[in-house]
């Protein structure tokens, strides 16, 4: 089996592993109000009901939408100007009756996740929450309980990055080792690598001050995007790097870095689920050909509905 045939099997396994991140049609308030202020008011009313420990029930999809939306409003209502982003995850199990959750269960889910977000940010001083994704893992049941998973993307806040539609290109000195923070191929002396530099460029165009709801995640593999015109490899995403310390570590030259940068807008537009959603954030992940000492990049793309809220960070 050649290396690219082997990775087809790896990608199939990844699709199964990440399937709980593919949420079903979780929608907003039943009133379908579209104004940002009305969505915010709906979430704040939901929070008031929780604080008052109001009794009653809510459908699972609506409950998860409100929990996710409120976690974003409370923790990620900012200008989304971040670098060096990464995600942290948590999950819990809850028993549902007739696809309903009690208010007590909803309060428990929200409270547990909120406590964990607070602890994450305490453990990573200087970092802030960018977005929060909450999903029902319908394919992961344990003793009749439903698994609810939360992913939090946090990053290092920087002054407002850019409001243009163009990415800053890589310069002639931007030749980077492909992983593990090995730095530049000549000179070193930095904790960054090509994956981090590409990710920061991908996320350098921000949308304004506000928060996201209806988060949806797409996992993208290099095999999804062939390009015979790529002068380095035949894909739009980096497909082959050697796991080794410098100087044997694979170096991605600045021209190749700019090639991957130039293809990102096409990829993120092609993966956009639409239905009112826009691009939020991307993570460049290091993946591995098992047992072969080499790896490749995956893209984890986040989309959602943006709600503009005035404010300064």
- Does a structural domain hold residue 80? yes
Q: Give pLDDT, residue 25.
A: 46
223 within some domain: yes
Q: What is the pLDDT, as a whole number, of residue 32?
A: 41
Of the candidates 55, 39, 44, 30, the residue with the CA atom closest to the CA atom of residue 106: 55
User: Tens place of pLDDT for every residue, the chain, 313 residues?
Assistant: 444 443 433 443 444 444 564 454 444 544 444 568 899 999 999 999 898 877 889 999 999 999 999 999 999 999 999 999 999 999 999 998 888 999 999 999 999 999 999 999 999 999 999 999 999 986 555 555 789 999 999 999 987 655 556 789 999 999 999 999 999 999 777 889 999 999 999 999 877 899 999 999 999 999 999 999 998 999 999 999 999 999 999 999 999 999 999 999 999 999 999 888 999 999 999 999 877 889 999 999 999 999 988 555 4
Number of domains in the chain: 1
Range of the domain at 47: 3-17+31-304
pTM of structure: 0.87
Q: What is the CA radius of gyration of the chain?
A: 21
At 309 the pLDDT is 81
User: Does residue 217 lie in a domain region?
Assistant: yes
199 in a domain, yes or no? Answer: yes
Three-state secondary structure string covering the chain: CCHHHHHHHHHHHHHHHCHHHCCCCCCCCCCCCCCHHHHHHHHHHHHHHHHCCCCCEEEHHHHHHHHHHHHHHHHCCECCCEEEEEEEEEEEEECCECCEEEHHHHHHHHHHHHHHHHHHHHHCCCCEEEEEEEEEEEEEEECCEEEEEEEEEEEEECCCCECCCCCCCCCCCCCEECCCCCCECCCCCCCCCHHHHHHHHHCCECCCCEEEEEEEEEEEEHHHCECCCCCCCCECCCCCEECCCCCCCCEECHHHHHHHHHHHHHHHHHHCCCCCCEEEEEEEEEEEECCCCEEEEEEEEEEEEEEECCCCC
Q: Are 256 and 248 within 8 A, CB to CB?
A: no
Using the CB atoms, write b or e for 20-48: b if 16+ within 10 Å.
bbebeebebbeeeeeebeebbebbeebbe
Residue 26 lies in a domain: no
In a domain, 256, yes or no: yes
Is 108 among the domain residues? yes
pLDDT score, position 6: 39
Residue 311 in any domain: the answer is: no
């Amino acid at each position: 089996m050649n290396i690219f045939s082997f990775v087809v099997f790896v990608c199939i396994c990844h699709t199964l592993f990440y399937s709980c991140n593919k949420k079903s049609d979780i929608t907003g308030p039943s009133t379908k109000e579209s104004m940002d202020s009305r969505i915010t008011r709906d979430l704040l009313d939901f929070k008031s009901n929780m604080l008052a420990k109001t009794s009653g029930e809510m459908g699972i999809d609506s409950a998860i939408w409100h929990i996710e939306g409120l976690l974003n409003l409370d923790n990620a209502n900012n200008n989304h100007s971040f670098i060096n982003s990464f995600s942290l995850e948590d999950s819990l199990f809850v028993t549902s009756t007739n696809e309903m959750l009690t208010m007590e269960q909803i309060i428990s889910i929200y409270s547990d996740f909120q406590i964990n977000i607070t602890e994450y940010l305490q453990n990573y001083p200087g970092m802030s929450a960018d977005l929060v994704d909450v999903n029902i893992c319908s394919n992961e049941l344990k003793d009749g309980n439903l698994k609810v998973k939360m992913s939090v993307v946090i990053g290092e806040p920087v002054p407002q990055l850019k409001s243009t539609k163009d990415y800053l290109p890589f310069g002639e000195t931007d030749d980077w080792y492909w992983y593990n923070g090995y730095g530049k191929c000549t000179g070193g002396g930095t904790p960054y690598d090509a994956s981090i530099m590409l990710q920061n460029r991908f996320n350098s165009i921000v949308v304004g001050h506000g928060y996201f709801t209806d988060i949806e995640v797409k996992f993208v593999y290099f095999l999804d995007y062939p390009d015979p015109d790529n002068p380095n490899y035949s894909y739009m995403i980096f497909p082959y790097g050697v796991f080794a310390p410098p100087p044997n570590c694979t170096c991605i030259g600045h021209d190749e870095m700019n090639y991957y940068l130039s293809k990102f807008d096409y990829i993120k537009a092609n993966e956009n689920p639409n239905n009112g959603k826009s691009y939020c954030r991307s993570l460049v992940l290091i993946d591995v050909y098992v047992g072969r000492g080499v790896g490749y990049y995956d893209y984890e793309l986040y989309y959602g509905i943006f709600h503009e809220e005035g404010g300064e960070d």
